[in-house]
Structure 1
Amino acid sequence: MPAVDLAARFLALHRPGTPLLMPNAWDAGSAKVLAALGFAAVATTSSGFAATLGRHDGDVTREEALGNAADLVRAVDVPVSADLENGYADEPAAVAATVSAARELGLAGCSIEDHTGRGEDPIYDAGLARDRVEAAASASGPLVLTARCENYLHGRPELRDTLARLQAYQEAGADVLYAPGLRDLGEIRTVCAEVDRPVNVLLVRGGPTPAELADAGVARISVGGAFAWSALTGLVEAARELLTGGTGFLDRAAPTRTVIDAALG
């Protein structure tokens, strides 16, 4: 399917009150499994992909992230959205170049964050952050552009500033708005009511359930690196079991192998 059609299909899946459940895959194989299980779209995960390279989140290059996104696009027929972190650049023109490169991959969407990844106060100045989103939007073409406000992940749980930033990103051309780390239902309801774009919310441990988020007006729910960490949890548990002479992991893996074999064709 042409990328423009995939993008339109992807955006149409964002329905406030009936949110798109969008898992984050870390490689082509996990993307195939998720698509085969029935998810209507998938996204990349910067932290999950970094782990496959033996690195922490934020230690992946632009070229590596785009290569991973291209792998997912080739692997599945559903829309794919790429986590492009901060665009791998500070200046708006360089962010636009990253989004333009992503556009050539056949993606349906991408996201851009408003933090530098550096220092004790890593959030970009509000004006520069808006300019970065505007540059990304100018280069995105049919891609569904998600603009992220990172306040709540970086020690700035300030709803007023977060909402002002999201509204600015909306005006700058973002198609979807996202403030990862929001977990208070009242604040989530406020964000959904005060912006005119679909809102994505990250599932967090101890936070609202998908049903509660739907009732709050959320249009998309993602999991970040949680699925990758769940997979690695299985690895750690199986490895520890083997180190103590156990083999129960073989029995636990057998049913899953059937699902994976079917997904991989």
Structure 2
Amino acid sequence: MTSFAALHVPGKPLLLPNVWEFGFAAALAAAGYPAVGTTSLGVSAAAGLADGAPASRAATVALTRALAPLDVLVSVDIADGFSVDPGEVADLVAELAEAGAVGVNLEDGRADGTLAPVEVQRALIAAVRSSSPGVFLNARTDTHWLGAGPVSLAVERALAYRDAGADGVFVPGLADPGEVAEVVAAVEVPLNVLFLPGRGTPAGLAELGVARVSLGSTPYRVALAAALATVDAAREGTSLPLPPPSYAEVAGLLPPPR
């Protein structure tokens, strides 16, 4: 199997679907997708928790272990690491690697809408890099996601995280072609952006040198919309919004009974 790092090719980006449960990941693996990511929003919501809440750590690890048998590479969204302690975050990534994860996303956005101090985030990245050198560490900066500053701030943070040991950088919300190209040229490691419907296509992002395009929580939110529309269709006696796979097809994706 191709290594996860090798899938990050500037100009030929990895399209990374994000999952929150086993069935969707199994369907993607069966369809030939080489890698999946998890979505902290979907995993947290499925567990009845706030997005990225420290209590969702256990659900994140459990999902990673469940996905390990699939023929697909797994990168895990660990939000802010569920801790401010570098040792605890490093231990989490080591646990995820032992469970089968080949990559993690670690973000500098905090629950209160602020950005972590750069040196605090660098310490977390350095600790993870030291403990799990084989894990693809994707350092996310939320400068654009939180509207915290100009593209120069994203570049500044991305370079700091790269120098601390990150293998790639993720700037969700980055969409302006000129800004995307500026970050690509500056960081010199694979750039990951978030797919934003109506704000550019993977082909267009490829031309700018992007190496990874994540779907984030979009599949989870679309699944919620489709489920609600299905219930509405049943109530109103109208056609289903989408033809679903059969029961047998879904059952066939699942592990055999133990």
Tell me what 1:160 maps to: 152
Q: Contact 2:193–2:210 (CA<8 Å) still a contact in 1?
A: yes
Q: Which among 87, 105, 109 is matched to residue 103 of structure 2?
A: 109
> Are residues 1:146 and 2:141 paired?
no
> Are residues 1:15 and 2:4 paired?
no
Tell me what 1:196 maps to: 188
Task: Decide whether aligned partners of structure 1 residues 128 and 252 sit closer, same or farther in structure 2, where only a CA change above 3 A counts.
Answer: closer
Tell me what 1:248 maps to: 239
Cα distance in 1, alignment partners of residues 156 and 148 from structure 2: 13
Cα distance, 1:95 vs structure 2: 1.7
Identity score, percent: 36
1:253 partner SS: coil
**Cα RMSD, aligned residues only:** 2.0
Q: TM-score, normalised by structure 1?
A: 0.89
Tell me what 2:73 maps to: 79
> Are residues 1:39 and 2:33 paired?
yes
Q: Which deviations, in whole Å up to 9, do the C-alpha atoms of 1:126-167 show, x marking residues without a partner?
A: 111112111121122211111110111223142111111101
1:177 partner SS: strand
Q: Which among 112, 116, 122 is matched to residue 124 of structure 1?
A: 116
Q: Contact 1:130–1:165 (CA<8 Å) still a contact in 2?
A: no
1:128 partner SS: helix
Report how many residues are paired: 254
Cα distance in 1, alignment partners of residues 179 and 246 from structure 2: 38
Task: Decide whether aligned partners of structure 1 residues 90 and 254 sit closer, same or farther in structure 2, where only a CA change above 3 A counts.
Answer: closer
* Aligned residue identity for 1:71: A
Q: Contact 1:133–1:172 (CA<8 Å) still a contact in 2?
A: yes
Q: Which among 39, 54, 65 is matched to residue 70 of structure 1?
A: 65
Cα distance in 1, alignment partners of residues 129 and 150 from structure 2: 25
Cα distance in 1, alignment partners of residues 152 and 131 from structure 2: 29
Structure 2: gaps spanning 5 or more residues:
none
Structure 1: gaps spanning 5 or more residues:
1-5
Cα distance in 2, alignment partners of residues 95 and 169 from structure 1: 15
Q: Contact 2:43–2:59 (CA<8 Å) still a contact in 1?
A: no
Task: Decide whether aligned partners of structure 1 residues 116 and 243 sit closer, same or farther in structure 2, where only a CA change above 3 A counts.
Answer: same
Tell me what 2:166 maps to: 174
* Aligned residue identity for 1:192: V
Tell me what 2:197 maps to: 205
Q: Contact 2:39–2:217 (CA<8 Å) still a contact in 1?
A: yes
* Aligned residue identity for 1:105: A
* Aligned residue identity for 2:92: T
1:221 partner SS: strand
Tell me what 1:3 maps to: none
Q: Which has the higher helix share?
A: 1
Tell me what 2:45 maps to: 51
* Aligned residue identity for 1:42: V
Comparing 136-145 with 10-19, greater Cα deviation is found at 136-145
Cα distance in 1, alignment partners of residues 173 and 247 from structure 2: 34
1:152 partner SS: coil
Task: Decide whether aligned partners of structure 1 residues 223 and 254 sit closer, same or farther in structure 2, where only a CA change above 3 A counts.
Answer: closer
Task: Decide whether aligned partners of structure 1 residues 241 and 192 sit closer, same or farther in structure 2, where only a CA change above 3 A counts.
Answer: same
